[in-house]
Amino acid sequence: MVGSGKGAEMGVLFRKGAALEVLAWVDTVVLDKTGTLTQGQPEMTDFDAIDCDATEILRLVAAAESKSEHPIAEAIVCAARERGMEIPPVRDFKAEPGFGIKADVDGRRVQVGAGRYMERLGIDLKDVEARAGELAAEAKTPLYAAVDGQLAAVIAVADPLKDGSLEAVGALHALGLEVAMLTGDNRATAKAVAEKAGIKEFFAEVLPEDKSKKVQELQMEGEVVGMTGDGINDAPALAIANVGFAIGTGTDVAIESADITLMRGSLHGLADAIAVSKATLRNIKQNLFGAFIYNVAGVPVAAGILYPLLGVLMNPVIAGAAMAFSSLTVVTNANRLRLFKAQEH
């Protein structure tokens, strides 16, 4: 109870009591990228049209993306509106999570998405591979737009790291934990973002439905996994992890699926939660040891083990006082957790 209260003071809500204990054994923390490590508010940074009018292609792409709820779609639509473009109506919109979207705009078929989506459509990306590689090396996410089955543009979107993400990852490393990043971005982009965040291990090009599988793979290797995310597609992974952390500014589904909610919306709460958990578990062990010693020493004496040798019997009043003192010791020791202080951030 004291540990949970201390966590709440630091903006860490333990929704399940068992999580407070299990968290002390976590040795690997998996971080979703978008909205967890990063701000979750991407901006379109580059729009390279290929042998066509950039303004017209951006207008078509923005129209198709206007029906999507993905943050990247919002970034593209926002960029088009900032350029004073009017968004035309859209028909037959369809989204494929992890791949991209397609729609009919002004009688033209517009398809926008990741490289794997273009490959599925049979669109050759060889001529733009070098450009996409440059963008990915700058920690930008390259996307592609096709109009009427022909490659029309390379688009780049950047999502900056949250303030303090680098320090939070460092704090996790200082606690002796392995940290891994999970993202649907291509390998080059994922590597660049991971390096900026101080993370060595990362899983790239992970489809939304495969996030929970990655957590399971780590668990099968003997890891005790803490998963952190904020989106709807993170919910299955949060539920299957040994301990699930939801960012408080994330979706309701993610929060409901997690064991712990980080109310401040930053990753600093991760290290705080783990530190509180370890301190609480140490305290519990101290209390169990103390209570065990009281009983080991007191019960035999109360049962009369010393009477045949010394003629000594324990007065029931003394036995009752010793029992009360045992409880007082445990409660007092537990309240020492109130003095626990989080790391300076």
Name the pairing type of β-strands 43-49 and 90-96: unpaired
Question: What DSSP state is assigned to residue 224?
Answer: -
Dist. CA 72–CA 78, nearest whole Å? 10
Q: Find the catalytic residue in 27, 32, 163, 252.
A: 32
Count helices and strands in the chain by DSSP H and E runs:
14, 13
Helix (H) or strand (E) holding 30: strand 28-32
Q: What are phi and psi of 262, to 5 degrees?
A: -90, 100
Q: Is 106 a catalytic residue?
A: no
Dist. CA 20–CA 274, nearest whole Å? 8
64 contacts 95 by C-beta, under 8 angstroms? no
- Category of 127 on φ-ψ map: left (φ > 0), alpha (ψ -120 to 50) or beta: alpha
Question: So which residues are the catalytic ones?
Answer: 32
